[in-house]
Every structure is written in structure tokens, then in C-alpha cells.
Amino acid sequence: MSGLRSGRWLDGDSLRAFGHRSRLRQLGYSPPDYKGKPVIAIISTRSDINPCHMHFAERVEDVKRGVWQAGGFPLEMPAMSLAEAFQRPTSMLYRNLLSMEVEELLRSYPVDGAVLMGGCDKTTPGLVMGATSAGLPSVFLPAGPMLRGNACGKVLASGTSVWKMWADRRAGLVDDGEMEAVEHGVARSAGQCMTMGTASTMTAAVEALGLALPGSSSVPAVDSRHAQMAAEAGRRAVGAVREGLVPGMILTEAAFDNAVRVVAALGGSTNSVVHLVAMARRAGVGLDLARFDRLCRDVPALADVAPSGEFLMEDFFYAGGLRALMARISGLLDTSAITITGRTLGEEIEGAQVYDERVIRPLGDPLWPGGSLAVLHGTLAPDGAVVKQTAASPELLVHRGPAVVFSDYKDMERRIDDESLEVTPGSVLVLQQAGPVGGPGMPEWGQLPLPKKLLRAGVRDMVRISDARMSGTSFGTCVLHVAPESAVGGPLALVQEGDTVSLDVPARRLDLDVAPEELSRRRRAWAPAPPYFARGWGKLYATTVRQANEGCDLDFLEYGPGTPEPAVH
């Protein structure tokens, strides 16, 4: 017997082992290809509808090359693609389903380790959550950002430029010709969104956790160094199997603290809060919102990358990439944390240099002094809410105003541009029924569009509050992830037109200024909406999903011992 997990399928004189070996021969492999070698599953989230991963067909071959070189046996195993740009109501509804697929792929097949290929938003947490639960040595291979967008002589940023342009178009300032030029030029190559949106935030977070090769998350998808890095990921997966380097040895409390601090230094996406909490729980680490806020407070935001800053991921890579940024904040990190290379984080970032201080700012001249992501609590959000200060208007971070309430997304679409809507720039736009259960899936509706009449008057930001998420490429004073959500009877469900809402980000407060007796009266009159799903995955999801402050995982997938290896019959 080889001593490898895969050997329990492939070795020995049994009918089952004979069957497995004969079917490998059917695939064209003979014992010299696999006998005694670590079997590496290459879990690729490529599909014909995912433009962010369209280079994965080539990269799988690069990974295989690395696995062969290191003496392993590579097998590609596709998993659901989760193409952010196409899935409705939101790819977030399927993050946990991907994680379950990954866990079961790794558990049920003769596999010793894995290379996890993802990058487009929810693929990264989904892959990592599944591999963490499976407990096999795994290397995460980031898709890498696409090239900068370009049209009409302008650099374009994924999402960010489009949100700005769309607001201008609604104000009557952008014609059809410009719209079409941007449609042609905003996404020019394979790779994930090239802003510091959810995709690039999460791939960086996984590198900071130690589960991706040092420097790998910053390499543009179409750079030749990406193919080289893919081969290295294959080699390392074989090494990690030989060393027994399972995710549980890497995904420690210190590693998650490092990831949170790196996200703060990047001015990263609010979505990272939900994903990191869920990933931590899979690893048995109790990361909660209070800890998240505490860890962020003294970390300066140094990455001058859109939507918080000016530059894009390609510039970030040329400026030195994530290793350089981590080296710059190394005093705030636990550099003794072990990474997938078997070396410490400190060893991996030593000597990394910043080549452009406009993109990766000096500690003494940050984009934001500390707490780029802030967690709020109060009578409107007893279990928490999240705001991204670097993407907000500073003058709105302390604000009191009357609520304009939309009971769901359809209600908002119907009324937001109604000229008779009673709304002023000082109003607070409130969206209900947009959380994990209500959305369903907690869609990225949190950056509510501004009323056309205010856009025409030149208004470009207002306080917006919801239990939804917001695209990582978005900006604005948007208070998100309000928990408990309105669909399960959180205070957000009780807000009525004209109620005064108080936001005080420096004090980390979000309050509804309504008397408790009145709120009790409203609560007695409140009833939940009927379930959205009658069957299938959606029904399982809606009946078991956790709230945003708990990471939105399914309750039976969180903490707990791994599922045993399948028995041989």
C-alpha cells in the first residue's frame, strides 16, 4: 500500500480496486502514471458562461505540468462556475452549494490533495470553505485580474466606472455612443474584475491566510507569470500532500486576523466580512463582527485602488503587489503564521518592495487612517451592520434623516424615479426584504440608485440602509448587512416612512429613533412574507441559512468534525 489516501481506492487485490484501476486504464493511464503518487484534483470553476475564468482551460494544463513534474498524478474535476455577471438573483445564493460540491468531490474520489481554481467573487470562498471542510492539502490558484478597461481615451474600472456612468446617464449626461464604447472596452481580457472589488479582495485575503502562493493573487490573468505560477501551484500541491500540510494547520486564528488586517489595508470589499466569517467558522475559528471591527481600526488603507482610490489591479501588481503591501504593514501582522509553502508569512514577504508609492501608499500618507471597513450596532442593527468608510462621503458618516422606505426591490424600482416621491438629499433610503432569506441570497442591491430628480440636481450620494450586500466595485454611503434581516423580523422590518434614522460611524452606531412602545406595536402587526422557494436547493438554503453577521453559511455546514471517508463495500 502506498500510504496515500488514494491508495485506499487504487491499491490491493480487491474487486473494487481492480474496478478503479481498470477504469483508469480506460482513461488511458497505467500504473506508472499514478502508482504511489499523490493524486491531485484540479478543481476548476471554468464554464462557457464565466468570462473571468475563460483562461482556466489553459491554466489547468499548466497546473497538470507542475503536478507531473513534482511526481503527482493530476485529474481535472470541474465544479460549478458561479459567474457573478450572469447569475440571478445572485451568485451568493450558490456559494454554499459550491462549497458542498467541493467537499463532496474531495471526499468521495481517490484524491490526496487539490488545486482550487477560482477568483470570480463567490468561487473563492466557496472553494476554500469546501476544501477546509474536506481537510485535504489544498492550494488556491487565483484567476488574477483582467487588464485595465479602456474606451474613448479613458481608463475604465470594472463596475466602478459603470456605476458612475449609469448615474450620469440617468441624469441625462451620457449618450448612446459613449454607452456602446464602454460596453466594448470595459472588460478586455480573461480575468476577474480589476478593481479592488470582491474578487480581488477575496483572492488577496486567501493569499494572506496562507492558502495561495505568495504574490499569486496580484498577477494579471493574461501575464505569462500567471501560467508559471499555475505550474508552481501544481508542484506545491504535491509537496503539501507529502508534508501533510492540511488547511487546518494554516487556517488558524492568527491567519484570519492577518487576512482581516490585509483586507483593511487594501480598502477591500464589504463582502469580505461575510465570507471571512463563514470561512473562519469552517476552520473552527470564532471570528465575529466585533473582532473584525477591532482588527480594522488601526490599519491604514494603503492601496490606492478603485473603488476607494484611483488605480487598478494591474497597477497594484506593477507597484509590487500583495507581498509588498503585506511587507509594509508587517508590524500589524502575525508573521509567524504558516503558509501553504511550509514557510512562514514573514519569510515569504521578506524583502518585498513597493515600486510605486502612488499605488501602495506609505504608512505615513494613507488613503484612510484606519477602519476602512466599520461595523455598526444599535437599535436598527442589534446584531450588526457594515459600512465601507473609504467608499462613503465623509460628510455623511454622521447623519440623521427621515426614512424613505421601500418594502422590497420591486417597490424600489417602481417608486424611486417617481417625481412625487417625497425625498431630499438629507433623506435616508431604506430597502427591506433584501437579506439572506429575503433577497433571497442577499443580493448586491445595497447601493440603491438615487432618485432621478436628485441626480439631475447634482446629488451623487445619500445614506442608504439595507440588509443587502453591495458590489465590491461600488461606492457610496451604504450601510449594509443589517442583522437580523427584515425577512426574519429584524428592526429593519419595522421602519416606516418618515422615521428618523441616526447614523454615527465614528461611534459605530446605527439607530432608529422610534419609541420602544411604538416598535412593539409594529412588531405585533408584522408578519413574514411567504417563503420564496417551494422546493430544491432554494428551500434547503432558506430554511438553514445563517444571518449576515454569522457568515450566511448553512447551519449544518459550520463547525464540527469532518465527514468520515466513504467506506469500501
Binding site for ligand FES (CB under 6 A): 52, 84-85, 120-121, 158, 192-193, 199
Query: Nearest approach, Cβ of 120 to ligand FES (angstroms)?
Result: 3
Query: Nearest approach, Cβ of 86 to ligand FES (angstroms)?
Result: 9
* Closer Cβ to ligand FES, 76 or 121, answer by number: 121
Residue with cell 482551460: 57
- Burial of residue 479 (CB within 10 Å: 0-12, 13-18, 19+) is buried
* Closer Cβ to ligand FES, 99 or 192, answer by number: 192
Burial of 87-102, coded b for 16+ CB within 10 Å and e otherwise, reads: bebbbbbbbbbbbbbb
* Closer Cβ to ligand FES, 159 or 300, answer by number: 159
* Closer Cβ to ligand FES, 52 or 463, answer by number: 52
Q: Give the whole-angstrom CA distance, residue 122 versus residue 476.
A: 22
* Closer Cβ to ligand FES, 158 or 433, answer by number: 158
Query: Nearest approach, Cβ of 522 to ligand FES (angstroms)?
Result: 39
Q: Give the whole-angstrom CA distance, residue 324 versus residue 326.
A: 5
Alpha-carbon 42 to chain mean position: 21
Q: How many CA atoms lie within 13 A of 307 on its CB side?
A: 30
Asked if residue 380 lies in contact with residue 499, where contact means CB atoms within 8 angstroms, the answer is: no
Query: Nearest approach, Cβ of 472 to ligand FES (angstroms)?
Result: 8
State phi, psi for 39 to the nearest 5 degrees.
-90, 120
Q: What length does the chain have? A: 569
Residue with cell 433577497: 439
Query: Nearest approach, Cβ of 191 to ligand FES (angstroms)?
Result: 8
* Closer Cβ to ligand FES, 91 or 549, answer by number: 91
* Closer Cβ to ligand FES, 121 or 499, answer by number: 121
Q: Give the whole-angstrom CA distance, residue 65 versus residue 154.
A: 39
Query: Nearest approach, Cβ of 178 to ligand FES (angstroms)?
Result: 22
The residues near 526 (Cβ < 8 Å, ≥ 6 apart) are 489, 493, 494
Query: Nearest approach, Cβ of 193 to ligand FES (angstroms)?
Result: 3
Secondary structure string (H, E, C) spanning 434-472: CCCCCCCCCCCCCCCCCCHHHHHCCCCCCEEEECCCCCC
* Closer Cβ to ligand FES, 433 or 474, answer by number: 474
* Closer Cβ to ligand FES, 200 or 477, answer by number: 200
Task: Using only the alpha carbons of the chain, give its radius of gyration.
Answer: 24
Query: Nearest approach, Cβ of 315 to ligand FES (angstroms)?
Result: 18
Secondary structure element (H or E) that encloses residue 483, with its range: strand 478-483
Query: Nearest approach, Cβ of 192 to ligand FES (angstroms)?
Result: 4
